[in-house]
């Protein structure tokens, strides 16, 4: 039998007030420390902050804001998700929900605008921004989950579909292509997103497609 440490019989008194969030996950609350509700979830989401900071430091100094935005989005998810799982407050939950939509929308924007004309990029980005603002406003004002969850799943599906098409277009080696396509399917099902983005060198007119490592936004023990 494997060694284990039992949870305490009664949870500790929350240091920052009782939970007000509508959502809760499979982890026992306030059984390790009084100032963090879901200890494991909070720690795993905090890892996103470390990964985002590390990735930003490794990017070239002249990297575009669009390229950096993928990791800004990941860092935002890490901060908001850590606050939500740590406090289980309603406002932290809204911030976490919003960060999920924003981060996934950034990935979708980068994938959908790869090698597109400036007109299409502006048009698509404007519509996507409007959709994000509309969804977020409705989600916060109406205090509902269904539209938010459907929106997030739709974004994940769109990212996965576009990523697969870009892999078919850009990856030449059959072995690499098969491996990446399996990764997309696996990632979309967890759910998570595999950010495939583009960066344009305006001075030379060249475009470079690169695949960022898995950017996972998932909950509970999926982490």
Distance CA 126, CA 109 (A): 10
CB 211 within 8 A of CB 122: no
Distance CA 202, CA 170 (A): 20
Half-sphere CA count of 106, side-chain side, radius 13 A:
21
- Check the annotation: does 27 bind a ligand: yes
- Check the annotation: does 28 bind a ligand: no
Paired tokens of 93 = 């939950």
Distance CA 38, CA 27 (A): 6
- Name the one residue in this structure whose structure tokens are 């920052």: 16
Q: Please provide residue 172's backbone torsions phi and psi, each rounded to the nearest 5 degrees.
A: -95, -35
CB 99 within 8 A of CB 151: no
- The contacts of residue 76 (CB under 8 Å, 6+ apart) are 99, 102, 103
- The contacts of residue 28 (CB under 8 Å, 6+ apart) are 7, 11
Cα three-residue angle 65-71-72, rounded to 5 degrees: 70
- Check the annotation: does 144 bind a ligand: no
Q: Which residues are annotated as part of the binding site?
A: 27, 38, 85
Q: Which residues are annotated as a binding site for Zn(2+)?
A: 85
Sequence ranges of the binding site for Ca(2+): 27, 38
């Amino acid at each position: 039998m494997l060694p284990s440490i039992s949870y305490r019989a009664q949870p500790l008194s929350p240091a920052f007030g009782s939970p007000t969030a509508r959502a809760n996950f499979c982890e026992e609350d306030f059984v390790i420390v009084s100032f963090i509700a879901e200890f494991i979830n909070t720690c795993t989401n905090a890892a996103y902050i470390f990964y985002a900071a590390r990735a930003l430091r490794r990017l070239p100094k002249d990297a575009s804001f669009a390229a950096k935005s993928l990791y800004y989005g990941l860092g935002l998810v890490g901060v908001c998700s850590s606050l939500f799982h740590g406090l289980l407050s309603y406002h932290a939950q809204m911030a976490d929900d919003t960060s999920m939509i924003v981060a996934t929308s950034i990935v979708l924007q980068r994938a959908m605008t790869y090698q597109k004309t400036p007109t299409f990029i502006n048009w698509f980005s404007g519509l996507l921004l409007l959709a994000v603002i509309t969804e977020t406003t409705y989600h916060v004002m109406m205090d509902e989950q269904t539209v938010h969850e459907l929106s997030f799943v739709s974004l994940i599906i769109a990212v996965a579909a576009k990523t697969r098409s870009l892999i078919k277009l850009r990856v030449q080696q059959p072995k690499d292509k098969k491996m990446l396509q399996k990764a997309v399917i696996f990632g979309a099902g967890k759910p998570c997103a595999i950010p495939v983005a583009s960066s344009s060198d305006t001075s030379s007119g060249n475009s470079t497609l690169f695949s960022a490592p898995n950017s996972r936004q998932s909950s509970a023990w999926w982490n």
